[in-house]
A and B are shown apart, each in its own frame.
Chain A
Amino acid sequence: MRFIFKTDYMQDIRLAQHAGQVFWYGALMLALLAAPWLVAEYWLAQLTFILIYAIAGLGLMLLAGFTGLFSLGHAAFLGVGAYTQAVLTNAGVPFAIALACAAGLSAGVGVVVGLPALRVKGVYLGMATLSFGFIVEEVLARWESVTGGNAGIRIKQPDIFGWTLSSGGAFYFLCLLITVLATLGILNLLRAPTGRAFVAIRDSEISAQSMGIHLARYKTLSFALSAALAGIAGALYAHKLQFISPDQFDILQSIDLLLMIVIGGLGSVHGAFLGAIFLIAMPQAIAMVKDYLPPTVGQAPGLQGLVYGVVLVAFVLFEPQGLYGRWLKIRTYLQMFPFYRKGMFKRQKTFQKSDRLR
């Protein structure tokens, strides 16, 4: 059991709360930096995908997990970013500028989509974002002069001021750098007034407003940030696959993203990463065990969808806090061994809220 003696307010403000965190996150960082020399090309590519999905997941986590606004059309922002990057890169724009444009355009679209969020909530916001996702997918398919339509477009390799990133290792480092920067940015926001305003809106709009928080401004900001991160992820995704088509940004992709943060653990930054690992590792795991299953099960077409569905239902029923919540429980169990009690994470029933003000 670790006891932290607090003698200074900075201890609460600092990113790392104690030396153990510095050690473990440092070790993780070293392992990630050494990865290109440690793992095979294929697994490095999977790791790159985890980083890319984690960036998109961070964005969606900020929106759904911290501001309480659910988006069922987040793949659209991924698509806007990917296509902006593809079109600009193919036109010869340097990587950094194209990436900034991808993020900026996505954020702009995010602001527009955020407008209904000022009026509708819950399931209705889900419907609005869902239909937005369809609109974007359709635009990408029909605007053939720019997007190449359903045939898709190829994208050149990233070119950072004359230095072409041709190897998988170099691109991996680029993704790692952007992931670290995005994570630090989100962590900074969350320990500052802006992030607290998001959390306030999630938990009680009425009292957030009475604390002086401008609801419309912060909801729009959350949408813009979330979309910008998805746009960056989309741009990297396009570079990674080197070929994009509208069907990569359909409703299934949106649901994958949402699934990722729910399984990872809503309302935690760790959750975005754990969810991304789950999302990329799951198909691999299924492919591995497929051969050992009886052929009628192993070769059945809907196996992956079935496993995803079962896992999601299981999480909602037994571990609503997601993978991160499960990890917290395991950690507490180990720290307190043998004094862990079963009900330690049970919360008291939420008291009735004033429905009249809704």
Chain B
Amino acid sequence: MNNILLSAQNLSLRFGGVLAVNNVSFEVRQGEVFTLIGPNGAGKTTVFNLISRIYTPSSGAIDYLGPDGLLRLTAQPPQAVAGLGIARTFQNIELFEHATVLQNLLIGRHTQRQSGFWQDLFFTRTTRQAELKAREKAEDVIDFLDLQHQRDALVAGLPYGVRKVVELARALCTEPRLLLLDEPSSGLNVEETEDMAFWIADIKNDLGVTVLMVEHDMALVSKVSDRVLAMNQGEVIALGTPREVQGDAGVIEAYLGSEGDVSSLRRPAPHAGARAA
């Protein structure tokens, strides 16, 4: 249970003069829900993009316990990440808009494809069998997330809340070992957020998938996460259980500012004698 699935060591990423991520280290254990929190611009999504290899760190490295043993994730090409069992969703939803929900899910099966170009061109037996198998797996995910009614709908016509679920479904279709969720509840209403919380718990408990997420909704965070990492301005400020992190002085300061900031803003009390005069 306490096996380390992913470990980031002294990650830094510099964009010109901005140090977006500064010397961040953390470890994600197998089978836990690990959450990154922090104010806007803290570098949470950047950490995600480092893990999914959209960015390459300026220094530091990420190690990942792949299906064939420990490997250096930061040395892998971006398209290899999905094949290693790391799937992700995006903060602003990056679905394939002009395809149906089912087609989106089947694209999620790309890493498991068994047919090559020529087999696809002639739609041989191999392709046909693989298609049927992919379809069965996609159907499992549709059942898991209750997407039956949207199966053949075009994504471009779906409401925001459903798109969020479709994106989660597509990530699950890759049969991930580590699922990266970038703000799963943003833009969702209360009921949809509750559904999302149940699904995240199910993904962890029933499917045995490790979840690494970025989230702002503290109710959701404390309900589902095992451990929380708080970041501010690219640096780690606290790590622990949701309760510990929420009570951490540094975290409160990052969100609300320090006592000193507030007192410097306070207007001096008007002098009692001045009013009398």
Residues in B with CB closer than 8 Å to A354 are 90-92, 94
**A192 close to B (CB within 8 Å):** yes
Taking the nearest CB of chain B, how far is it from the CB of A77, in angstroms? 19
- Residues of B with Cβ closer than 8 Å to A? 49, 52, 54, 78-83, 87-88, 90-99, 102-103, 106-111, 113, 115, 117, 119-123, 127-128, 130-132, 134-136, 139, 154, 156-160, 163, 170, 174
**A195 close to B (CB within 8 Å):** yes
Interface members, chain A 149-198 (any B CB < 8 Å): 185, 188-189, 191-197
**A214 close to B (CB within 8 Å):** yes
Per CB-CB distance, the 4 closest pairs between chain A and chain B, nearest first, are A212-B82, A192-B120, A203-B96, A207-B94
Contact A267 to B93, CB < 8 A, known contacts A191-B123, A193-B109, A212-B111? no
Q: Enumerate 6 A-B pairs (CB-CB under 8 Å) in ascending A order.
A: A9-B139, A188-B120, A199-B99, A203-B99, A204-B96, A348-B156
Which residue of chain B is the closest to A196 with respect to CB atoms? B107
Residues in B with CB closer than 8 Å to A193 are 106, 109-110, 113, 115, 120, 127, 130, 134
Residues in B with CB closer than 8 Å to A204 are 94-97
Residues in A with CB closer than 8 Å to B88 are 210
CA distance A13 to B121 in the complex (A): 14
Complex partner residue of A192 from B91, B131, B139, CB under 8 angstroms? B131
Which residue of chain A is the closest to B173 with respect to CB atoms? A211
Cross-chain contact B107 with A357 (CB below 8 angstroms)? no
Complex partner residue of A351 from B79, B93, B123, B132, CB under 8 angstroms? B93
- Taking A12-B135, A192-B131 as known contacts, 11 extra A-B pairs with beta carbons closer than 8 A to each other, sorted by chain A number, are A9-B132, A9-B139, A192-B119, A199-B103, A199-B107, A206-B54, A213-B79, A215-B79, A353-B93, A354-B92, A357-B54
Cross-chain contact B120 with A212 (CB below 8 angstroms)? no
Cross-chain contact B81 with A212 (CB below 8 angstroms)? yes
| Total inter-chain residue pairs, C-beta < 8 Å | 133
Contact A212 to B110, CB < 8 A, known contacts A194-B117, A207-B90? yes
Taking the nearest CB of chain A, how far is it from the CB of B154, in angstroms? 8
Which residue of chain B is the closest to A355 with respect to CB atoms? B92
Complex partner residue of A210 from B82, B96, B134, B159, CB under 8 angstroms? B82
CA distance A12 to B98 in the complex (A): 18
Residues in A with CB closer than 8 Å to B79 are 209, 212-215
**A296 close to B (CB within 8 Å):** no
Contact A221 to B117, CB < 8 A, known contacts A212-B111, A214-B79, A348-B159? yes
Residues in A with CB closer than 8 Å to B103 are 196, 199
Taking the nearest CB of chain B, how far is it from the CB of A130, in angstroms? 26
Residues in B with CB closer than 8 Å to A348 are 156-159
Residues in A with CB closer than 8 Å to B91 are 354
Contact A267 to B107, CB < 8 A, known contacts A207-B90, A221-B117? no
Residues in A with CB closer than 8 Å to B109 are 193
Which residue of chain B is the closest to A354 with respect to CB atoms? B92
CA distance A202 to B97 in the complex (A): 10
CA distance A352 to B92 in the complex (A): 7
Cross-chain contact A210 with B120 (CB below 8 angstroms)? no
Cross-chain contact B82 with A203 (CB below 8 angstroms)? no
CA distance A199 to B156 in the complex (A): 14
Residues in B with CB closer than 8 Å to A188 are 120-123
How many residues of chain A have a CB within 8 Å of chain B? 39
CA distance A195 to B115 in the complex (A): 12
Taking the nearest CB of chain B, how far is it from the CB of A121, in angstroms? 16
Cross-chain contact B98 with A267 (CB below 8 angstroms)? yes
**A235 close to B (CB within 8 Å):** no
Cross-chain contact A185 with B121 (CB below 8 angstroms)? yes
Which residue of chain B is the closest to A185 with respect to CB atoms? B121
**A350 close to B (CB within 8 Å):** yes
Residues in B with CB closer than 8 Å to A215 are 79
**A347 close to B (CB within 8 Å):** yes
CA distance A314 to B31 in the complex (A): 57
**A200 close to B (CB within 8 Å):** yes
**A10 close to B (CB within 8 Å):** yes
Taking the nearest CB of chain B, how far is it from the CB of A14, in angstroms? 10
Taking the nearest CB of chain B, how far is it from the CB of A324, in angstroms? 13
Complex partner residue of A194 from B90, B120, B159, CB under 8 angstroms? B120
Chain A CB within 10 A, most for which of B122, B123, B128: B123
Cross-chain contact A347 with B157 (CB below 8 angstroms)? yes
Residues in B with CB closer than 8 Å to A185 are 121-122
Residues in A with CB closer than 8 Å to B107 are 196-197, 199-200, 208, 211, 213
Taking the nearest CB of chain B, how far is it from the CB of A265, in angstroms? 12
CA distance A199 to B108 in the complex (A): 12
Cross-chain contact B93 with A196 (CB below 8 angstroms)? no
CA distance A191 to B122 in the complex (A): 11
Cross-chain contact A196 with B117 (CB below 8 angstroms)? no
CA distance A200 to B170 in the complex (A): 12
Chain B CB within 10 A, most for which of A185, A192, A195, A197: A192
CA distance A353 to B96 in the complex (A): 12
CA distance A208 to B158 in the complex (A): 20
Residues in A with CB closer than 8 Å to B119 are 192
Which residue of chain A is the closest to B92 with respect to CB atoms? A354
CA distance A210 to B108 in the complex (A): 9
